[in-house]
Amino acid sequence: MDRSSGDGRLASEGESAAGTVDLVGRSRKLEGVSFGAILDGSAESCVQWATPDGLELVGRGVAARFRAGGPDRFDRIRSQAGRAFDGLEHEGPPAARPRAFGGFSFHDGHEAAPPWTGFDAASFVVPQVLVARTDDGTWLTAVGPGEDEAADRLEDWHERLAALPAMRPSGSTPGVAATRRTTSPADWSTQVETALERIADGRLRKVVLAQALSVDLEGPVDVPATLERLRRQYPNCYRFLVGHEIGGTFFGAPPERLVSKRGDRVETEALAGSVPRGETPAEDDEHVDRMRADAKFQHEHGLVVDAIREQLAPLASELTVSEQTIRRLATIQHLQTPIEARLAGDRHVLEIVEALHPTPAVGGVPPDAAWETIRETEAFDRGWYAAPVGWFDADGDGEFAVAIRSGIAADGAVTLFAGNGIVADSDPAEEWDEVQLKFRPILDELRSRPNR
Ligand SMILES: C=C(O[C@H]1C=CC=C(C(=O)O)[C@@H]1O)C(=O)O
């Protein structure tokens, strides 16, 4: 793994905006409110998170911030958060509790250079204002460094939100002026051939190689509105947005759960192996039958299942690997294997995140050789692509997705990312086609289209 060039200095600079004062959260029930409208015009830090099973969260402002760099960034975030959450006092239902939102870079040695300005190797915020849409209604939570501040903020935002429209138009798309690839088809073939040689000589069994596509926009992009449109096309995916005050906005609609932890229960999955959707249900099934029967796809998928099993086993008292199923998305279909565990002891979700990242669905096997191949062959910075993004709370519970089918909007452009698993017998041209399908969800939403 890339354990060499991490910037450990950030860890000691990690601050809580609350300083030594204990954080206080106050919640109140809300009538319907448009999530997009809450973020409108915000130059503050903002976050949005939605799961396939219906939880939706949106937050803005910074009550506390945790930042870290280097290989031990998972631990450092955990200890900074431990200090800030230690004295947390929250009045409201558990669904509305304060949480920390953010994510990690794919590589340990990540530098926050454009388009990733503002995105440290690990960075989380506890928003000052959080709105949670749950089965139990919609809740506003204000967080501050003391009771009075939290109560005043709650009052202020309750009034502001009451004045906002409950529905917001879905907005026009920005339009695409031009696209630029980091990787030409010829370069891609060379990269895949390099990986195949390493597989043939036994150094490597699988590596996920990725590409970036830089999209120049005709007009400004409204990321919350783009996410809202993605909800319609990709209802069974996560949706996330992390917007930085001094940089861009990272967002996406990933289908892949890295981990969900509640108490001692952990859910994760292997998601690897891709075929296109067909024109008809029968064609969809033909693609799926081919994928299920194909030794290459099963090998590629099996490596991910085995690695997750091995990564979780030391932490678990029980581990259940379910039957393989199919994940059918708007443009693509994947092999999926749900995996559940009961934890052996008291663990923080970030410990599970650290143990699992990167699964071979985005890294490879063995991890070090895959890491080396990625660093030597890919011609762009992965930044936060394919890394954990999500939230955790004061109890160490939380949920993280793998930030694939994602892009970063910064300086009038959106840079999209997509990759594919390479194993023995992979064909560069087929892999190229599969990667292009993975750019589609966001690219399609950026193209010009009349208002809907
Ligand atoms: C790495 C990506 O997809 C992963 C998830 C599902 C299927 C994959 C595959 O078929 O290679 C990848 O492992 C991506 O979308 O950028």
Lowest mean pLDDT among 30-39, 200-209, 334-343: 30-39
Give the mean pLDDT of 159-170: 76
pLDDT score of 164: 78
pLDDT score of 31: 82
Domains observed in the chain: 9-162 (no CATH), 176-221+256-446 (3.60.120.10)
Q: What percent of the chain has pLDDT over 90?
A: 81
Lowest mean pLDDT among 5-9, 194-198, 280-284, 365-369: 5-9
pLDDT for 6 beyond 70: no
**Helix/strand/coil (H/E/C) assignment for every residue in the chain:** CCCCCCCCHHHHHCCCCCCCCCCEEEEEEECCCCHHHHHCCCCCCEEEEECCCCCEEEEECCCEEEEECCCCHHHHHHHHHHHHHHCCEEECCHHHCCCEEEEECCCCCCCCCCCCCCCCCEEEEECCEEEEEECCEEEEEEEECCHHHHHHHHHHHHHHHHCCCCCCCCCCCCCEEEEEECCCHHHHHHHHHHHHHHHHCCCCCEEEEEEEEEEEECCCCCHHHHHHHHHHHCCCCCEEEEECCCCCEEEECCCCEEEEEECCEEEEEEEEEEEECCCCHHHHHHHHHHHHHCHHHHHHHHHHHHHHHHHHHHHEEEEEECCCEEEECCCEEEEEEEEEEEECCCCCHHHHHHHHCCCCCCCEECHHHHHHHHHHHCCCCCCCCCCEEEEECCCCCEEEEECCCEEEEECCEEEEEEEEEEECCCCHHHHHHHHHHHHHHHHHHHCCCCCC
Give the mean pLDDT of 254-260: 98
Lowest mean pLDDT among 125-129, 161-165, 176-180: 161-165
pLDDT score of 20: 52
pLDDT score of 7: 37
Active site residue 256: yes
Mean pLDDT of the chain: 91
Active site residue 286: no
Q: Which atom of ligand 1 is nearest to the CA of 274?
A: 10
- Measured in Å, residue 423 CA sits from the centre of ligand 1 at 13
ipTM of this complex prediction, to 2 decimal places = 0.98
pLDDT score of 260: 98
Q: Which atom of ligand 1 is nearest to the CA of 418?
A: 16
pLDDT score of 1: 34
Token pair listed for 96: 């509305």
Instruction: Give the pLDDT band (50/70/90) at residue 450.
Output: low
pLDDT (tens digit per residue) in 297-349: 999 999 999 999 999 999 999 999 999 999 999 999 999 999 999 999 999 99
How many CB atoms are located within 10 Å of the residue 159 CB?
9
Instruction: Give the pLDDT band (50/70/90) at residue 175.
Output: very high
Backbone angles phi and psi of 150, in degrees to 5 = -65, -40
Residue of 165 and 428 predicted with greater confidence: 428
pLDDT score of 95: 93
Dihedral sign, Cα of residue 180, residue 181, residue 182, residue 183: negative
- Measured in Å, residue 361 CA sits from the centre of ligand 1 at 6
pLDDT score of 39: 81
- Tell whether ligand 1 has an atom less than 6 A from the beta carbon of residue 438: yes
pLDDT score of 12: 34
pLDDT score of 241: 97
Backbone angles phi and psi of 421, in degrees to 5 = -75, 130
How many CB atoms are located within 10 Å of the residue 9 CB?
10
How many CB atoms are located within 10 Å of the residue 56 CB?
16
pLDDT (tens digit per residue) in 55-87: 999 999 999 999 999 999 999 999 999 999 998
Q: Which atom of ligand 1 is nearest to the CA of 271?
A: 6
pLDDT for 206 beyond 80: yes
pLDDT score of 394: 97
pLDDT for 203 beyond 50: yes
